[in-house]
Amino acid sequence: MKLAFIGAGKMATAIAQGLIDANCFGKSNIMASDPSMISQQSFSTTVGVQCIDDNDATIDQGDVIVLAVKPQNIENVFSNLISPLNSKLLISIIAGCTLKNLSALTQSKRIIRVMPNTPAMVGKGTAVFACGDDVTKSDIELVTKIFSTVGIVKQLPEEYLDIVTAVSGSGPAYVFEFIQAWVDAAVANELDPELSLELILQTVSGAVEMIHKKMGTPDELRNAVTSPGGTTEAGLNVLKEHHFREIIQSVINSAKQRSIELGND
């Protein structure tokens, strides 16, 4: 079976590399098309598979098509396409692009819409998918197998994909922002930048591991390290005064709203 990526940017590269590393697909069974020379070169170098600038030829040769272009480029892909899709399975990772929109563009209902995230690049991704009407049981097994090579995979009704986009699709950026702010605060107090990052990364991964090991809920674990009148409480009080939880709620609501808007464009 041949897998054809339309758009060979960051996500396509991460997924293709995961598939090869996991021996899920051989290099000869992966192909990609992208107009950007930079993406072509980066995909070829990282994945070890040639990337061309020809969506028609790529779709023609693929048995399963992975749509990995930005939302604003999807119409362009199908308006310029000559090759028939011939009911091939389409897997779309395009944020906010609904099954209905994809179906209108492709005249197909054999479509799986997936919301992945960038930690797929290190095999720690999340992927949540929803299925079009003509998707088969073996299509579901295939998409599960593909995304399992780069992280965890869940199936949900499509109505949940906007909130999933806000929570895990965009999630890595919130973590990066939080960690950068934390490093900046340490450095502002004259701690070495490299050491700051090392301490913070170990703190984050250690805290995450404690939750993974079911040592308590996040609330319980926070309470366990917060002595009355202590340093942690002093820090947490600032988060509370500045409405940290309400801010996070607004972040998620705003990202979800943007995902809904993209779907309506």
Ligand X SMILES: NC(=O)c1ccc[n+]([C@@H]2O[C@H](COP(=O)([O-])OP(=O)(O)OC[C@H]3O[C@@H](n4cnc5c(N)ncnc54)[C@H](OP(=O)(O)O)[C@@H]3O)[C@@H](O)[C@H]2O)c1
69 part of the interface to ligand X, by CB under 6 A: yes
55 part of the interface to ligand X, by CB under 6 A: yes
Query: For the window 185-224, what string marks contact with ligand X as x by the rule CB under 6 A?
Result: ----------------------------------------
44 part of the interface to ligand X, by CB under 6 A: no
Cβ atoms of 31 and 12 within 8 Å: the answer is no
111 - beta bridge partners? 90
Which is closer to ligand X, CB of 34 or CB of 139? 34
Choose the stretch contacting ligand X; rule: CB under 6 A; options: 1-9, 187-195, 197-205, 213-221.
1-9
263 part of the interface to ligand X, by CB under 6 A: no
Residue found under tokens 């119409």: 75
Instruction: List binders of ligand X among 82-101 (CB under 6 A).
Output: 93-95
Which is closer to ligand X, CB of 196 or CB of 262? 262
Query: What is the closest distance, in whole angstroms, from the C-beta atom of residue 95 to ligand X in the complex?
Result: 3
Which is closer to ligand X, CB of 65 or CB of 196? 65
33 part of the interface to ligand X, by CB under 6 A: yes
Instruction: List binders of ligand X among 99-118 (CB under 6 A).
Output: 115-118
**Which one among 34, 62, 65, 183 touches ligand X, defined by CB under 6 A?**
34
Choose the stretch contacting ligand X; rule: CB under 6 A; options: 72-80, 129-137, 224-232, 251-259.
72-80
Burial label for 234, CB within 10 Å (0-12, 13-18, 19+), is: exposed
Query: What is the closest distance, in whole angstroms, from the C-beta atom of residue 260 to ligand X in the complex?
Result: 14
Which residues of this protein are in contact with ligand X, per CB under 6 A?
6-12, 33-36, 39, 55, 68-71, 73, 76-77, 93-95, 115-118, 169
